[in-house]
Homo-oligomer: A and B are copies of this chain.
Amino acid sequence: MANPDTMQAFVLAAELGSFSAAARRMGKAQSAISAAIANLEIDAGVELFDRTARSPVLTEHGEALLPHAQAILLSNREFMAKASSMAEGVETALCLAVELGISMRPLNDVLRGFAANFAHVSLEILAPSPIDTAALLKGGRADIGIMAEQESYPQGFQFRGVGHSRLVPVCARDHPLATGADISYRDLRRHRQIISHSRSNAASTPKGEIKSASIWISESPALIVDLVLAGFGWAELPYSVVAGHIASGNLVQLNYAFQQGDILEGIDVVWTERHALGVSGRWMRDELLSLPQVAWRDG
Protein backbone atom coordinates (compact mmCIF):
# COMPACT_ATOMS: atom_id res chain seq x y z
CA MET A 1 0.00 0.00 0.00
CA ALA A 2 1.33 3.30 -1.07
CA ASN A 3 2.14 6.40 0.91
CA PRO A 4 -0.50 9.14 0.71
CA ASP A 5 2.15 11.47 -0.68
CA THR A 6 2.57 9.06 -3.56
CA MET A 7 -1.16 9.10 -4.20
CA GLN A 8 -1.14 12.87 -4.04
CA ALA A 9 1.63 12.94 -6.61
CA PHE A 10 -0.33 10.62 -8.88
CA VAL A 11 -3.50 12.64 -8.60
CA LEU A 12 -1.80 16.00 -9.06
CA ALA A 13 0.24 14.76 -11.99
CA ALA A 14 -2.92 13.42 -13.60
CA GLU A 15 -4.86 16.60 -12.97
CA LEU A 16 -2.11 18.97 -14.03
CA GLY A 17 -0.81 16.79 -16.82
CA SER A 18 2.76 17.25 -15.70
CA PHE A 19 5.13 15.71 -13.15
CA SER A 20 7.03 18.96 -12.87
CA ALA A 21 3.90 20.95 -12.13
CA ALA A 22 2.92 18.41 -9.50
CA ALA A 23 6.38 18.72 -7.98
CA ARG A 24 6.12 22.49 -7.84
CA ARG A 25 2.68 22.24 -6.27
CA MET A 26 3.90 19.82 -3.63
CA GLY A 27 7.10 21.73 -2.95
CA LYS A 28 9.35 18.87 -3.94
CA ALA A 29 11.91 18.17 -6.61
CA GLN A 30 10.72 16.86 -9.95
CA SER A 31 12.81 13.76 -9.53
CA ALA A 32 10.91 12.89 -6.36
CA ILE A 33 7.59 12.83 -8.19
CA SER A 34 9.05 10.93 -11.10
CA ALA A 35 10.45 8.27 -8.79
CA ALA A 36 7.32 8.12 -6.64
CA ILE A 37 5.08 7.50 -9.61
CA ALA A 38 7.49 4.99 -11.09
CA ASN A 39 7.44 3.10 -7.79
CA LEU A 40 3.67 3.27 -7.64
CA GLU A 41 3.52 1.77 -11.09
CA ILE A 42 5.78 -1.04 -9.93
CA ASP A 43 3.67 -1.65 -6.82
CA ALA A 44 0.41 -1.56 -8.74
CA GLY A 45 1.80 -3.61 -11.59
CA VAL A 46 0.32 -1.38 -14.26
CA GLU A 47 1.52 1.62 -16.23
CA LEU A 48 -0.32 4.74 -15.15
CA PHE A 49 1.04 7.28 -17.63
CA ASP A 50 1.98 7.17 -21.26
CA ARG A 51 5.27 9.09 -21.46
CA THR A 52 5.87 9.06 -25.19
CA ALA A 53 4.68 12.62 -25.62
CA ARG A 54 6.29 15.58 -23.97
CA SER A 55 3.72 15.61 -21.22
CA PRO A 56 2.56 12.37 -19.66
CA VAL A 57 -1.04 11.35 -20.30
CA LEU A 58 -3.02 8.84 -18.31
CA THR A 59 -3.25 5.36 -19.71
CA GLU A 60 -6.57 3.55 -19.63
CA HIS A 61 -5.37 1.91 -16.43
CA GLY A 62 -4.40 5.21 -14.91
CA GLU A 63 -7.74 6.66 -15.87
CA ALA A 64 -9.49 3.79 -14.12
CA LEU A 65 -7.38 4.08 -10.97
CA LEU A 66 -7.50 7.86 -10.64
CA PRO A 67 -10.91 7.97 -8.91
CA HIS A 68 -9.72 5.38 -6.43
CA ALA A 69 -6.63 7.41 -5.65
CA GLN A 70 -8.82 10.46 -5.14
CA ALA A 71 -11.00 8.44 -2.80
CA ILE A 72 -7.94 7.48 -0.78
CA LEU A 73 -6.91 11.11 -0.47
CA LEU A 74 -10.41 12.12 0.49
CA SER A 75 -10.66 9.58 3.29
CA ASN A 76 -7.25 10.62 4.54
CA ARG A 77 -8.29 14.26 4.60
CA GLU A 78 -11.48 13.36 6.41
CA PHE A 79 -9.55 11.49 9.05
CA MET A 80 -7.36 14.49 9.69
CA ALA A 81 -10.24 16.95 9.52
CA LYS A 82 -12.22 15.01 12.08
CA ALA A 83 -9.14 14.65 14.26
CA SER A 84 -8.34 18.34 14.26
CA SER A 85 -11.97 19.17 14.87
CA MET A 86 -11.88 16.98 17.95
CA ALA A 87 -8.53 18.42 18.96
CA GLU A 88 -10.18 21.82 19.08
CA GLY A 89 -12.64 20.50 21.63
CA VAL A 90 -15.57 19.80 19.34
CA GLU A 91 -17.41 16.79 20.59
CA THR A 92 -17.59 13.55 18.64
CA ALA A 93 -21.34 13.22 18.55
CA LEU A 94 -24.39 15.18 19.59
CA CYS A 95 -27.70 13.65 20.56
CA LEU A 96 -30.99 15.51 20.39
CA ALA A 97 -34.18 14.23 21.98
CA VAL A 98 -37.19 15.72 20.22
CA GLU A 99 -40.30 14.63 22.01
CA LEU A 100 -42.90 12.83 19.94
CA GLY A 101 -45.58 15.24 18.80
CA ILE A 102 -43.24 18.20 18.45
CA SER A 103 -42.78 19.31 14.89
CA MET A 104 -39.39 18.79 13.32
CA ARG A 105 -40.03 21.54 10.80
CA PRO A 106 -38.56 24.48 12.72
CA LEU A 107 -35.48 22.34 13.28
CA ASN A 108 -34.67 21.94 9.63
CA ASP A 109 -32.85 25.22 9.18
CA VAL A 110 -30.92 24.69 12.38
CA LEU A 111 -29.87 21.22 11.25
CA ARG A 112 -28.76 22.56 7.90
CA GLY A 113 -26.55 25.05 9.66
CA PHE A 114 -25.26 22.34 11.97
CA ALA A 115 -24.30 20.11 9.06
CA ALA A 116 -22.46 23.00 7.47
CA ASN A 117 -20.61 24.14 10.58
CA PHE A 118 -19.95 20.78 12.22
CA ALA A 119 -19.57 18.34 9.37
CA HIS A 120 -17.52 16.04 11.57
CA VAL A 121 -19.94 15.76 14.45
CA SER A 122 -22.29 12.86 14.00
CA LEU A 123 -25.82 13.77 14.93
CA GLU A 124 -28.38 11.51 16.51
CA ILE A 125 -32.00 12.49 16.88
CA LEU A 126 -34.19 10.51 19.23
CA ALA A 127 -37.97 10.76 19.24
CA PRO A 128 -38.86 9.58 22.72
CA SER A 129 -42.34 9.49 24.17
CA PRO A 130 -42.95 12.42 26.52
CA ILE A 131 -42.34 10.32 29.60
CA ASP A 132 -38.85 9.28 28.46
CA THR A 133 -37.37 12.58 27.41
CA ALA A 134 -36.18 13.78 30.79
CA ALA A 135 -34.74 10.37 31.59
CA LEU A 136 -32.64 10.43 28.41
CA LEU A 137 -31.16 13.76 29.42
CA LYS A 138 -30.62 12.72 33.02
CA GLY A 139 -28.83 9.55 31.97
CA GLY A 140 -26.58 11.44 29.59
CA ARG A 141 -27.99 9.54 26.62
CA ALA A 142 -29.17 12.77 25.03
CA ASP A 143 -27.47 16.17 25.21
CA ILE A 144 -30.33 18.50 24.41
CA GLY A 145 -34.07 17.91 24.72
CA ILE A 146 -36.97 19.63 23.04
CA MET A 147 -40.11 18.82 24.95
CA ALA A 148 -43.47 19.97 26.21
CA GLU A 149 -43.00 22.21 29.21
CA GLN A 150 -43.07 20.60 32.62
CA GLU A 151 -44.34 21.84 35.98
CA SER A 152 -40.90 21.20 37.36
CA TYR A 153 -37.61 19.72 36.24
CA PRO A 154 -35.23 17.49 38.22
CA GLN A 155 -32.25 18.96 40.01
CA GLY A 156 -29.52 20.19 37.68
CA PHE A 157 -31.76 20.73 34.68
CA GLN A 158 -31.61 23.95 32.72
CA PHE A 159 -34.44 24.93 30.46
CA ARG A 160 -35.83 27.80 28.49
CA GLY A 161 -39.19 28.17 26.80
CA VAL A 162 -38.82 28.70 23.08
CA GLY A 163 -42.39 28.86 21.89
CA HIS A 164 -45.72 27.14 21.89
CA SER A 165 -47.18 24.34 19.90
CA ARG A 166 -50.84 24.63 19.00
CA LEU A 167 -53.07 21.94 20.39
CA VAL A 168 -56.12 20.98 18.41
CA PRO A 169 -59.08 19.24 20.02
CA VAL A 170 -60.19 16.39 17.78
CA CYS A 171 -62.47 13.41 17.65
CA ALA A 172 -63.24 10.74 15.09
CA ARG A 173 -65.50 11.41 12.13
CA ASP A 174 -68.35 9.32 13.56
CA HIS A 175 -67.93 10.41 17.17
CA PRO A 176 -70.96 12.10 18.78
CA LEU A 177 -68.99 15.32 19.32
CA ALA A 178 -68.08 15.53 15.63
CA THR A 179 -71.37 17.08 14.60
CA GLY A 180 -71.78 19.57 17.45
CA ALA A 181 -70.83 23.22 17.19
CA ASP A 182 -70.03 25.37 20.23
CA ILE A 183 -69.07 22.51 22.46
CA SER A 184 -69.33 23.25 26.16
CA TYR A 185 -67.42 21.88 29.14
CA ARG A 186 -70.45 19.76 29.93
CA ASP A 187 -70.38 18.19 26.47
CA LEU A 188 -66.74 17.37 26.89
CA ARG A 189 -67.19 15.89 30.33
CA ARG A 190 -69.67 13.41 28.96
CA HIS A 191 -67.12 11.82 26.63
CA ARG A 192 -63.89 10.06 27.26
CA GLN A 193 -60.76 12.21 26.95
CA ILE A 194 -57.46 10.64 25.98
CA ILE A 195 -54.44 12.46 27.32
CA SER A 196 -50.72 12.20 27.12
CA HIS A 197 -49.05 10.61 30.10
CA SER A 198 -46.50 13.34 30.59
CA ARG A 199 -49.03 15.93 31.63
CA SER A 200 -50.61 13.95 34.41
CA ASN A 201 -47.71 11.95 35.70
CA ALA A 202 -47.61 11.13 39.35
CA ALA A 203 -45.18 13.89 40.20
CA SER A 204 -47.18 16.79 38.79
CA THR A 205 -50.72 17.81 39.57
CA PRO A 206 -53.14 17.46 36.68
CA LYS A 207 -53.72 20.88 35.23
CA GLY A 208 -56.56 22.50 33.38
CA GLU A 209 -56.07 20.25 30.40
CA ILE A 210 -58.19 17.58 31.95
CA LYS A 211 -61.69 18.45 30.92
CA SER A 212 -63.53 15.15 31.09
CA ALA A 213 -64.72 12.84 33.79
CA SER A 214 -63.57 9.77 31.95
CA ILE A 215 -59.87 9.57 31.14
CA TRP A 216 -57.65 7.24 29.21
CA ILE A 217 -53.94 7.78 29.20
CA SER A 218 -51.22 6.89 26.72
CA GLU A 219 -47.58 7.82 26.56
CA SER A 220 -47.43 7.98 22.79
CA PRO A 221 -49.12 10.64 20.66
CA ALA A 222 -49.31 8.14 17.82
CA LEU A 223 -51.20 5.72 20.04
CA ILE A 224 -53.54 8.49 21.12
CA VAL A 225 -54.26 9.24 17.49
CA ASP A 226 -55.10 5.60 16.92
CA LEU A 227 -57.42 5.54 19.90
CA VAL A 228 -59.18 8.69 18.78
CA LEU A 229 -59.45 7.39 15.22
CA ALA A 230 -61.06 4.25 16.61
CA GLY A 231 -63.68 6.40 18.31
CA PHE A 232 -62.64 5.73 21.88
CA GLY A 233 -62.74 9.39 22.81
CA TRP A 234 -61.50 12.89 22.04
CA ALA A 235 -58.10 14.44 22.67
CA GLU A 236 -56.11 17.64 22.44
CA LEU A 237 -53.15 16.93 20.19
CA PRO A 238 -50.41 18.96 18.50
CA TYR A 239 -51.46 20.27 15.14
CA SER A 240 -48.52 18.59 13.42
CA VAL A 241 -49.73 15.20 14.59
CA VAL A 242 -53.31 15.48 13.39
CA ALA A 243 -53.01 17.78 10.39
CA GLY A 244 -52.98 14.91 7.92
CA HIS A 245 -55.97 13.19 9.50
CA ILE A 246 -57.97 16.40 9.59
CA ALA A 247 -57.20 17.05 5.94
CA SER A 248 -58.33 13.55 5.02
CA GLY A 249 -61.51 13.95 7.06
CA ASN A 250 -60.83 11.05 9.40
CA LEU A 251 -60.53 13.39 12.36
CA VAL A 252 -62.77 16.37 13.07
CA GLN A 253 -61.71 19.49 14.93
CA LEU A 254 -63.91 20.41 17.89
CA ASN A 255 -65.15 23.96 18.25
CA TYR A 256 -65.03 24.97 21.90
CA ALA A 257 -67.73 27.40 22.95
CA PHE A 258 -65.67 28.58 25.88
CA GLN A 259 -62.42 29.37 24.13
CA GLN A 260 -61.92 31.39 20.99
CA GLY A 261 -58.13 31.54 20.75
CA ASP A 262 -55.67 28.73 20.27
CA ILE A 263 -54.87 26.17 22.92
CA LEU A 264 -51.14 26.44 23.42
CA GLU A 265 -48.65 24.10 25.01
CA GLY A 266 -45.25 25.47 25.93
CA ILE A 267 -42.13 24.00 24.38
CA ASP A 268 -38.90 23.99 26.36
CA VAL A 269 -35.33 23.43 25.25
CA VAL A 270 -33.71 21.47 28.06
CA TRP A 271 -30.14 20.51 28.94
CA THR A 272 -28.31 19.56 32.10
CA GLU A 273 -25.46 21.09 34.04
CA ARG A 274 -23.89 17.73 34.74
CA HIS A 275 -23.22 16.71 31.16
CA ALA A 276 -21.51 19.79 29.82
CA LEU A 277 -22.24 20.66 26.21
CA GLY A 278 -19.32 20.85 23.80
CA VAL A 279 -18.75 23.44 21.14
CA SER A 280 -21.33 22.08 18.74
CA GLY A 281 -23.82 21.42 21.53
CA ARG A 282 -23.66 25.01 22.70
CA TRP A 283 -24.05 26.19 19.13
CA MET A 284 -27.10 23.97 18.68
CA ARG A 285 -28.66 25.14 21.95
CA ASP A 286 -28.11 28.79 21.16
CA GLU A 287 -29.56 28.37 17.68
CA LEU A 288 -32.63 26.69 19.14
CA LEU A 289 -33.07 29.43 21.71
CA SER A 290 -32.82 32.13 19.07
CA LEU A 291 -35.52 30.67 16.82
CA PRO A 292 -38.60 32.88 16.60
CA GLN A 293 -41.26 31.73 19.03
CA VAL A 294 -43.88 31.44 16.32
CA ALA A 295 -41.77 28.90 14.44
CA TRP A 296 -43.10 26.11 16.63
CA ARG A 297 -46.71 27.19 16.38
CA ASP A 298 -47.92 25.05 13.54
CA GLY A 299 -46.80 21.73 12.14
Within 8 A of B (CB), among A90-148: 92-93, 122
Given the interface contacts A65-B83, A82-B64, A82-B65, does A1 sit within 8 Å of B4 by beta carbon? yes
| Closest beta carbon of chain B to A259's beta carbon, Å | 50
Q: Does A68 contact B (CB under 8 A)?
A: yes
Q: Does A2 contact B (CB under 8 A)?
A: yes
CA distance A29 to B80 in the complex (A): 26
Q: Does A75 contact B (CB under 8 A)?
A: yes
Given the interface contacts A78-B68, A79-B72, does A44 sit within 8 Å of B92 by beta carbon? no
State which of B2, B8, B63, B87 has its C-beta within 8 Å of the C-beta of A76.
Answer: B2
State which of B44, B75, B83 has its C-beta within 8 Å of the C-beta of A72.
Answer: B75
Contact B72 A76 (CB under 8 A): yes
**Can you report 22 A-B residue pairs in the complex whose CB atoms are below 8 A from each other?**
A1-B73, A1-B76, A3-B4, A4-B4, A43-B80, A43-B83, A44-B79, A44-B83, A45-B83, A45-B84, A45-B86, A46-B83, A46-B86, A60-B92, A64-B86, A64-B92, A68-B75, A68-B78, A68-B79, A71-B78, A72-B75, A72-B76
Contact B93 A64 (CB under 8 A): yes
User: Number of copies of this chain in the oligomer?
Assistant: 2
Q: Does A187 contact B (CB under 8 A)?
A: no
CA distance A75 to B72 in the complex (A): 5
Q: Does A277 contact B (CB under 8 A)?
A: no
Kindly list chain B residues whose C-beta atoms are within 8 Å of the C-beta of A65. 79, 82-83, 86
| Closest beta carbon of chain B to A80's beta carbon, Å | 6
Kindly list chain B residues whose C-beta atoms are within 8 Å of the C-beta of A64. 82, 86, 92-93, 122
Which A residues are within 8 Å of any B CB, using their own CB? 1-5, 7-8, 43-46, 60-61, 63-65, 68-69, 71-73, 75-80, 82-84, 86-87, 92-93, 122
Q: Is the interface of A mostly helix, strand, loop or mixed?
A: helix
| Closest beta carbon of chain B to A84's beta carbon, Å | 6
Contact A86 B72 (CB under 8 A): no
Kindly list chain B residues whose C-beta atoms are within 8 Å of the C-beta of A46. 83, 86-87
| Closest beta carbon of chain B to A155's beta carbon, Å | 26
Kindly list chain B residues whose C-beta atoms are within 8 Å of the C-beta of A1. 4-5, 8, 73, 76-77, 80
Contact A82 B60 (CB under 8 A): no
| Closest beta carbon of chain B to A280's beta carbon, Å | 13
| Closest beta carbon of chain B to A22's beta carbon, Å | 16
Contact A44 B84 (CB under 8 A): yes
Contact B69 A79 (CB under 8 A): yes
Chain B, residue nearest A48 (CB): B83
Known contacts A2-B76, A7-B79, A65-B83; can you find 13 more A-B pairs with CB under 8 A? A1-B5, A2-B4, A43-B83, A44-B80, A45-B84, A46-B83, A46-B86, A63-B92, A64-B82, A64-B86, A64-B122, A68-B78, A72-B76
